[in-house]
Chain A
Amino acid sequence: MLTILLFVGTLLNHANADFDTDVLNEKDGVVSGILSDSVLLHLPPCSFQGQNVSLQYTINNTVDTWTLENIFTVPPCEKTTGTEGNSLVTRRIGYKVSDLASGTTYRFQFQIGSNKSNTVLATTKAGQHYSGIDTGLPARSGAMVVITVILSVAMFILMVALTITIVLSNDED
């Protein structure tokens, strides 16, 4: 029942939306779309080119809302990144929402005139402290064991052989 409700809910979210947006990911050519204090969002489709875009975002399950009016205009439809001769040319592939709190879940929604996008849910990275990384010895590798065992055995044999040699030579005297 809950699954059906969630599925219908997602459908409705996209069904009500006039256009789609989402967080950028590696397929779009960025290292990560979610940082600890910012999120990278897809631009609205280029069919809205030239129009002003506003963004509204809230912290999930609270009433704190921020609205950024007319933050940018939708760029025209052409290639977004590429090389021209020897220089690297970058055009906009997304919008960066900055000054967010880390480890918090936000809901983002673009608005162009009367058109609204779907609501994107994203959680900023919490930023673990590096002291949590476990730097203990990973495992006993084969190298350690082999070298130690073989050298110990060799040492023992040499010790025994040296003792026997000295004892036998003393017996001869």
Chain B
Amino acid sequence: MADGGTCFMIFLILLNTFGAAASLALFALAIWVAVDGYELYPISGVSGKDDIFAGAWIAIFTGFAFFCTTVFGILAVVKSSRLLVLLYLILMFIIFIFECASCITAATHRDYLVGNSNLVKKQMLKYYADDSFAGQQITVTWNRMMREVECCGADRPQDWIDYNSTFRMTYGTTYPWPQQCCKRLSSFEVADVEGCKAGLASTLFTKGCFDHIESVFSRYTWAVSWYGFSVLMFMFWLMLLTMGYYLKI
């Protein structure tokens, strides 16, 4: 009986240690998302659907809180104190709720943003070359992205022709699309200005930018939402086992 009790205690200590490591990883992953190495935050910020990043901030908190609480849980289990274990369970439950919120909103906002290319396309047409603060942010983001990823438009360059845009109203129809759509030489000059203006496919980028945007936001969401979900599933079983231990003490 005592051996069974000790076995259970050691098992719980091991589980709590594993939980501490997993939640520290969640903390680190959430920091990576919040830092936004791909610098695409303005696309979600301007649209108002930025809960992927809000979820990341919450996950920074919950990841670290889970770590602290599981370490406390090891102490509570070793001391076999009912009060401490009950306190541990209640703390874990509260953090569980916060992490649930983070997972769900991150997954939902990702679907709003990049479920299809409409929102990104409309935002590009409305805000690119706009003078407002939001417009400047979007313009800088798109310029960098078009240069680095070598893409043009949301789905394809024709997006600039099929729709009216702030860009066309500001600069007229001399250039059907921004100059960042044009291929450049290693000296940074445009390779063929006239060819790019005419739409010669070999002088501009014909790939759409939406694929890149979608893959980046999906990557962030898998980090915050799905990894957070797996941590929660682990903590769920850990908490059930701890409740069983509580009844045994």
Binding site for B on A (CB under 8 A): 26, 29-32, 35-38, 40, 81, 88, 90, 93-94, 96, 125, 127-131, 133-135, 137-139, 141, 143-144, 147-148, 150-151, 154-155, 157-158, 161-162, 165-166, 168-169
Contact = CB atoms under 8 A, between A and B. Distances in A.
A134 B86 CA distance: 51
B192 A133 contact: no
A157 B168 CA distance: 57
B219 interface: no
A158 to B, nearest CB: 6
B163 A130 contact: yes
A92 B243 CA distance: 79
B116 A147 contact: no
Contact of A81 (B104, B111, B200): B200
B202 A29 contact: yes
B18 interface: no
Interface in B119-168: 119, 121-122, 125-126, 156-158, 161-165, 168
8 contacts: A31-B199, A31-B204, A38-B173, A130-B163, A137-B111, A144-B111, A158-B240, A162-B89
Interface in B64-116: 82, 86, 89-90, 93, 96-97, 100, 103-104, 107-108, 110-112, 115-116
Contacts of A134: 118
Contacts of A37: 173
B164 A130 contact: yes
Contacts of A93: 200
Most chain A Cβ neighbours within 10 Å, of B82, B111, B165, B191: B111
B146 to A, nearest CB: 15
B121 A133 contact: yes
Nearest to A151: B100
The 5 residue pairs across chains A and B that have the minimum distance between CB atoms = A138-B115, A130-B125, A31-B199, A133-B122, A135-B119
A151 B192 CA distance: 55
Interface string B192-213: 1011001111111010000000
B200 A30 contact: yes
A42 B134 CA distance: 42
A13 to B, nearest CB: 27
B155 to A, nearest CB: 12
A166 B249 CA distance: 13
Nearest to A93: B200
B229 interface: yes
Nearest to A172: B247
B232 interface: yes
Contacts of A157: 236, 240
Nearest to A98: B173
A144 to B, nearest CB: 5
Contacts of A151: 100, 103-104, 229, 232
Contacts of A158: 93, 96, 236, 239-240
Contact of B229 (A96, A125, A147): A147
B200 A141 contact: no
A161 B232 CA distance: 16
B176 interface: yes
Given A32-B158, A137-B111, A151-B229, A26 B122 contact: no
B246 interface: yes
A30 B196 CA distance: 9
B59 to A, nearest CB: 14
Contacts of A90: 192, 194-195, 200, 203
A73 to B, nearest CB: 18
Contact of B115 (A36, A127, A141): A141
A135 B236 contact: no
A154 B107 contact: no
Contacts of B125: 130, 133
A170 to B, nearest CB: 11
